[in-house]
Amino acid sequence: MPAPYYVGDEVPLQFDAKDADGQAPSSATVDIYDETNTKVVDGVSATVTGTTVTYNVAETVIDTAGTYRAVFPVVFPSTITRSHTIQFFVRDPTLRFSTYGSVAGVESKIGDMVSNRTFTDTTVPSFQEIQELVDGVAQELNMELLQQGYQVPVRGADDPVAYQHLVYVNNCGAAARALSTLPAESFEFAQDGVGGDRRTMWDRELWHAIQRIRKQEFKATTTTSPSDNFIAGSRTDRDTGEVKNPLFKRDMTDFPGTRVLQE
């Protein structure tokens, strides 16, 4: 498996191992080191299922974003012990649950940019750079959603259709920005009806989603209405004493000289 790669709650460290005779491991443990070579996980048991060794990083409290190195001592029935190392990247925990897209989603669109259609620590752009683009586009979408009173982040359980659309446009936006690192490609920003290149097409998808959000045409759960902050009454600035007159007043539609008929 390429390194580093994102490890989230549902993405465990995993690899296959067997000895020269094809036998599966009998047990395995894992030590995890941070970028300063400080051990943050010491000798925790890994799960062995057949020839597959698995460890879920979500079981470990790693609250700091960065690159980590997991070293697995793997024991075989022949008492031979072999070591397997995986380098992985942990995102900022505050972003993990407010991002909709993924590096894999970007790879499905522009994976041909790099060897084997897989972003790693040695590719240009790298895995971490693509993850930062995904997070950045997601936060741009969230800012637009917040501005229009939508629940942020949009949750798949509450709004499955809206959530899947955000996954799509999040990946599209990140793909467009990754393609911007290739100076040879021309770029026409979000023009409707224009064929253009892939970068134009993916950017147009993101721009259309932002327009739908701004027009309140995005069908998802809202927490406030844009009119919640609309104040019709008078207001007085406590610092300066300045008074803002109310928007509506009694008899504001009456005109001098008009008659009101009463019985």
pLDDT in tens, 140-185: 999 999 999 999 999 999 999 999 999 999 999 999 999 988 765 5
Last residue of a domain, one of 42, 61, 90: 90
* Range of weakest confidence among 3-7, 33-37, 92-96, 226-230: 3-7
Q: By the 8 A CB rule, do 84 and 155 touch?
A: no
- Banded pLDDT at 194 (limits 50, 70, 90): low
Residue 5 lies in a domain: no
Last residue of a domain, one of 57, 90, 123: 90
Provide the residue range defining the domain that includes 103. 94-226
Residue 18 lies in a domain: yes
Last residue of a domain, one of 90, 107, 139: 90
* Range of weakest confidence among 46-50, 112-116, 141-145, 244-248: 244-248
Question: Do 206 and 127 share a structural domain?
Answer: yes
Q: Is the pLDDT of residue 6 over 60?
A: no
Element (H, E) at 33: strand 27-33
**pLDDT of 245:** 74
Question: Do 55 and 30 share a structural domain?
Answer: yes
Q: Is the pLDDT of residue 1 over 50?
A: no
CATH of the domain at 57: 2.60.40.1220
Rounded Cα distance, 217 and 240, in Å? 40
Task: Give me the long-range contacts of 118-124 (CB less than 8 A, separation at least 24).
Answer: 118/2, 119/2, 120/2, 120/3, 120/4, 120/5, 121/3, 121/4, 121/67, 121/87, 124/181
Question: Do 164 and 139 share a structural domain?
Answer: yes
pLDDT in tens, 42-100: 999 999 999 999 998 766 667 777 888 999 999 999 888 999 998 887 777 667 678 99
Alpha-carbon distance values, 67 to 76, 87, 137, 212 (Å): 29, 7, 22, 37
Alpha-carbon distance values, 142 to 88, 146, 222, 241 (Å): 27, 6, 13, 36
**pTM score of the predicted model:** 0.62
Question: Do 143 and 219 share a structural domain?
Answer: yes
**pLDDT of 9:** 45
- Banded pLDDT at 134 (limits 50, 70, 90): very high
Per the rule left: phi > 0, alpha: psi between -120 and 50, beta: everything else, 154 is beta
Question: Do 220 and 116 share a structural domain?
Answer: yes
Question: Do 112 and 66 share a structural domain?
Answer: no
Question: Do 65 and 150 share a structural domain?
Answer: no
